């Protein structure tokens, strides 16, 4: 039962338990008339029955930590325009499904390549505020260019076509995503703008509340400075706590 419930359980050991139990039964059959033979026979039988019971329990009733449900799909596409700075539409929360009022003592995020102590303090302070207020998206600058920033998320880059064509199940099975979800290395602010050759920048993400989806930058305006995005979330039954990060039903 412990091995079945363990993340990334060693399959060779798990199946080895069943093989050992069946071997014990087979070896006990010729000496089943003796007391020790009877003990060995019934111990092997009980062990086999217990293995089958827990296999059914964790495979069918409670999905294995390494298994991802096939009953996954994307929810509706949501489009939002996120303004630079501290306006009524500058801080967007996926969890709340709307914008959040900014901090009263707001200080703009430093540029991504600024590694000064002051820049780190500003980033840490705004990151904590974003976490406390469920903020997921905001906008910053990088040498004049506008960047979409994702707060406290796991992210990896996809192709522009992924937003339309990639299935929710395929996204959850992606080896890169599973590796990131296992490590749970979340940047304070992961920033990106447009794709190569003018294509639309598309990212897969998982929020701090472990909601997973795709986001795509579809437009940038200079007046007022803002970035327009569209995103959609994976919906379905919670399954893979280890690799998929507890996908939750919306």
- How high is the pLDDT of residue 243? 35
On average, the pLDDT of the chain sits at 82
- How high is the pLDDT of residue 13? 74
Helix 35-56 vs helix 11-28: crossing angle, to nearest 10: 150
Q: CB under 8 Å to 236, separation ≥6 — which residues? A: 69, 71, 72, 73, 168, 247, 249
* pLDDT tens profile 160-187: 889 999 999 888 888 888 888 887 778 8
What's the rounded Cα separation, in Å, for the pair 215 and 94? 11
Cα radius of gyration (the chain): 25
- How high is the pLDDT of residue 250? 36
Would you report the helix, strand and coil content of the chain in percent, each value rounded to 5? 35, 25, 35
* pLDDT tens profile 115-170: 899 999 999 999 999 999 999 999 999 888 898 999 999 888 888 889 999 999 88
What's the rounded Cα separation, in Å, for the pair 173 and 181? 11
């Amino acid at each position: 039962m412990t091995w079945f419930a363990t993340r990334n359980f060693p399959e060779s050991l798990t199946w080895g338990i069943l093989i050992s139990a069946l071997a014990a039964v087979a070896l006990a059959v010729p000496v089943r008339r003796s007391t020790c033979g009877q003990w060995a026979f019934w111990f092997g039988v009980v062990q086999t029955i217990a293995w089958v019971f827990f296999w059914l329990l964790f495979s069918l009733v409670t999905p294995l930590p390494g298994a991802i449900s096939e009953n996954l799909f994307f929810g509706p596409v949501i489009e939002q325009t996120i303004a630079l700075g501290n306006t009524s539409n500058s801080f967007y929360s996926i969890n709340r499904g709307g914008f959040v009022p900014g901090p009263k003592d707001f200080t703009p995020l430093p540029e991504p390549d600024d590694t000064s102590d002051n820049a780190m303090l500003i980033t840490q302070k705004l990151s904590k505020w974003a976490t406390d207020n469920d903020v997921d998206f905001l906008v910053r600058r990088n040498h004049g260019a506008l960047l979409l920033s994702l707060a406290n998320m796991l992210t990896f880059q996809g192709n522009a076509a992924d937003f339309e064509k990639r299935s929710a199940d395929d996204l959850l099975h992606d080896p890169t995503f599973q590796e990131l979800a296992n490590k749970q290395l979340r940047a304070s602010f992961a920033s990106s703008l447009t794709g190569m050759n003018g294509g639309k920048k598309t990212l897969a993400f998982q929020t701090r509340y472990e909601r997973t989806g795709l986001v795509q930058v579809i437009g940038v305006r200079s007046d007022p400075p803002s970035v327009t995005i569209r995103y959609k979330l994976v919906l379905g039954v919670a399954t893979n706590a280890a690799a998929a990060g507890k996908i939750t039903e919306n």
